[in-house]
């Protein structure tokens, strides 16, 4: 009896992180990681766009241009990125291929650099951007899109695999 109960407990799969939490964490981490790397690329002058441009439309103090502004922007991007991850989750999570994420990233790039461009005076109009800035930004948005998109699609896929397999494998478990 006791042993039986123990066996059952052992077989209980601990619930993997819930999908919503996973999407949020992926968004947050993706935002933090890629914006930090983008800031590093700016430090090495690969791109003229620094993360601080995010704060430009708002009337903060002088600190928004200093390193506090940078840290604040990276954190803010992380939080915004959670929302972006959910946008992917709601629209494109069924796309299995990694390239879905890449396209998502490119769309984001177009959104920020074309549509939202007037909001951020720190980003020059797209026709005035240097070649290095353009290439670096596209690559970062691409990688960010793949990171968020592929992760969410993969997890969605895994979830379905697990559900399908749990029901299918249940009778075998008793052997």
| CB of 26 vs other proteins, minimal distance in Å | 5
Binding residues for other proteins (CB under 8 A): 2, 5-6, 9-14, 16-17, 22, 25-26, 29-30, 41, 43-46, 98, 102, 131-132, 135-136, 139, 142-143, 146-147, 150-151, 153-155, 158, 161-162, 165, 169, 172-173
CB of 63 closer than 8 Å to CB of 136: no
CB of 156 to other proteins, least distance (A): 10
Q: Where are the alpha helices (DSSP H) in the chain?
A: 2-11, 19-43, 67-92, 98-110, 131-169
Question: Tokens 């920020």 correspond to what residue?
Answer: 112
Measured distance CA(55)–CA(90) in Å, rounded:
28
Of the pair 84, 142, the CB lying nearest other proteins is at 142
Q: At what angle do helices 98-110 and 67-92 cross, to 10 degrees?
A: 130
CB of 59 to other proteins, least distance (A): 29
For tokens 């799969």, name the residue.
13
Q: CB of 138: closest distance to other proteins in angstroms?
A: 9
Taking the least distance from each CB to other proteins, the nearer of 89 and 147 is 147
């Amino acid at each position: 009896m006791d042993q039986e109960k123990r066996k059952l407990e052992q077989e209980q799969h601990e619930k993997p992180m819930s999908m919503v939490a996973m999407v949020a964490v992926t968004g947050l981490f993706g935002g933090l990681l890629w914006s930090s790397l983008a800031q590093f690329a700016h430090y090495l002058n690969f791109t003229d766009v620094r993360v601080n441009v995010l704060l430009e439309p708002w009337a903060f103090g002088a600190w928004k241009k200093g390193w506090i502004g940078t840290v604040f922007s990276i954190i803010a991007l992380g939080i915004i990125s959670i929302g972006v991850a959910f946008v992917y989750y709601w629209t494109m999570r069924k796309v299995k291929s990694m390239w879905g994420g890449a396209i998502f990233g490119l769309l984001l790039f177009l959104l920020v650099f074309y549509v939202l461009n007037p909001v951020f005076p720190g980003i020059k109009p797209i026709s005035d951007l240097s070649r290095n800035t353009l290439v670096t930004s596209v690559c970062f948005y691409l990688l960010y899109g793949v990171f968020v998109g592929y992760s969410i699609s993969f997890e969605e896929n895994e979830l379905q695999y697990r559900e399908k397999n749990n029901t299918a494998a249940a009778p075998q478990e008793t052997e």
